[in-house]
C-alpha cells in the first residue's frame, strides 16, 4: 500500500504541504492546471529555497483579494463549479467543511453564519484544492504524520491577537498528537490542521515503509529550527506473521 508520511517538526500549513508535494515530484503542471481549473484569478510562484542548509520548495499563491470574506456555501460553489475531477472536488469540500465546523464551534455560531476571513481568501482556497490535487497525484492510499509541533505565543488575526495554536487550529487538531518546543511562532495554520484532520490516518513514529521519494516544503519565516515540512512517499511494509512450528 502506497502511503505518505509527514514529518511535522516545524508544523504544517497549506503552502508547506504544496511545497513538500512538488519537491517530492508532483509535476508543477499538474498542480497549476488543476488550480487554473477553478476559474479564479490566481498565479503560482514556485522557488527553491534553503532552510538551515536544507533545500526545499516554496510555493506561493498570488491572488488579488486576500481580504475577501466568504461563507462556506460560496466556497463550495466555487469548487463544485470548477473543471476539477469529482474526487478532488469531494476531498477539497470535506477539508473546507472541517474548517467551517471548527470555526462554528469556536465562535459558538451556526456553520452557515461563519465568515471565512483569512480562510476564505483565494490563496487558502487554492491551498486546500491544491492539497487535494497533489494528494491524488501522489498515488498514496493514505497518509500518516509525526506528532505535530504547534509553536507558541500569539498570532495576529482578523479577530485580534489569539493564542497559538489558534482556537480553530486546536479544534481541528483534536485527536492528533501535538507538542511545542517553545518556538514563538504559529507553526500550524487552520488550513494545515484541516488537511491533517481530513487526510491523516494516524500520528506517531514513521511506519515500516520502503522509502521512494522525499520532499521538503518551506514555510515563510526563518526560525531557529528548519522551517520545513518533510514528506516521505513509499510502500508500507506489512509485518510478517510468524508461522507455527
pLDDT tens digit sequence for 183-235: 999 999 999 999 999 999 999 999 999 999 999 999 999 999 999 999 999 99
**pLDDT at 66 (0 to 100):** 53
CA distances from 66 to 35, 79, 108, 121, 126 (A): 17, 18, 25, 5, 12
Beta bridge partners of 44: 61
> Considering only 67-76, 98-107, 138-147, 181-190, which range has the smallest mean pLDDT?
67-76
Q: How far is the C-alpha of 54 from the C-alpha of 41, rounded, in Å?
A: 32
pLDDT tens digit sequence for 152-177: 999 887 778 999 999 999 999 999 99
- Give the DSSP per-residue string, 114-170: --BSTTTSHHHHHHHHHHHHHHHHHT-SEEEE--EE-EESEEEETTEEEESSPHHHH
> Region 112-129: what's the mean pLDDT?
79
Say if residues 227 and 54 touch (Cβ distance below 8 Å). no
- pTM beyond 0.85: the answer is yes
- Nearest alpha carbon to residue 149 among 12, 11, 5: 11
**Three cell numbers, residue 204:** 506517531
Q: Is 188 left (phi over 0), alpha (psi -120 to 50) or beta?
A: beta
Q: Residue 141 — pLDDT band, cuts 50, 70, 90? A: very high
Say if residues 31 and 44 touch (Cβ distance below 8 Å). yes
- Nearest alpha carbon to residue 158 among 148, 168, 150, 149: 168
pLDDT tens digit sequence for 10-57: 999 999 999 999 999 999 999 999 999 898 888 999 999 999 999 999
- Nearest alpha carbon to residue 40 among 92, 82, 87, 94: 82
Greater confidence (238 vs 149) lies with 149
Amino acid at each position: 500500500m502506497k502511503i505518505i508520511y509527514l514529518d511535522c517538526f516545524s508544523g504544517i500549513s497549506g503552502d508547506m504541504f504544496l511545497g513538500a508535494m512538488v519537491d517530492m515530484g508532483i509535476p508543477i503542471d499538474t498542480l497549476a492546471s488543476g488550480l487554473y481549473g477553478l476559474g479564479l484569478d490566481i498565479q503560482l510562484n514556485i522557488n527553491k529555497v534553503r532552510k538551515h542548509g536544507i533545500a526545499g520548495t516554496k510555493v506561493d499563491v498570488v491572488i488579488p483579494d486576500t481580504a475577501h470574506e466568504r461563507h462556506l456555501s460560496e466556497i463550495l460553489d466555487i469548487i463544485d463549479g470548477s473543471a476539477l475531477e469529482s474526487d478532488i472536488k469531494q476531498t477539497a469540500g470535506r477539508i473546507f467543511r472541517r474548517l467551517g465546523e471548527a470555526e462554528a464551534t469556536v465562535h459558538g455560531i451556526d456553520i452557515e453564519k461563519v465568515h471565512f476571513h483569512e480562510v476564505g481568501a483565494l490563496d487558502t482556497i487554492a491551498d486546500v484544492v491544491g492539497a487535494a490535487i497533489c494528494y491524488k497525484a501522489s498515488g498514496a492510499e493514505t497518509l500518516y504524520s509525526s506528532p505535530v509541533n504547534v509553536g507558541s505565543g500569539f498570532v495576529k488575526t482578523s479577530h485580534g491577537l489569539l493564542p497559538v495554536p489558534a482556537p480553530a487550529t486546536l479544534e481541528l487538531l483534536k485527536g492528533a498528537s501535538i507538542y511545542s518546543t517553545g518556538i514563538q511562532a504559529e507553526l500550524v495554520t487552520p488550513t494545515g490542521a484541516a488537511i491533517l484532520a481530513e487526510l491523516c490516518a494516524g500520528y506517531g513514529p514513521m511506519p515500516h515503509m520502503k522509502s521512494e521519494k522525499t520532499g521538503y516544503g518551506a514555510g515563510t519565516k526563518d526560525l531557529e529550527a528548519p522551517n520545513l515540512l518533510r514528506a516521505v512517499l513509499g510502500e508500507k511494509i506489512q509485518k510478517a506473521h510468524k508461522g507455527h512450528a
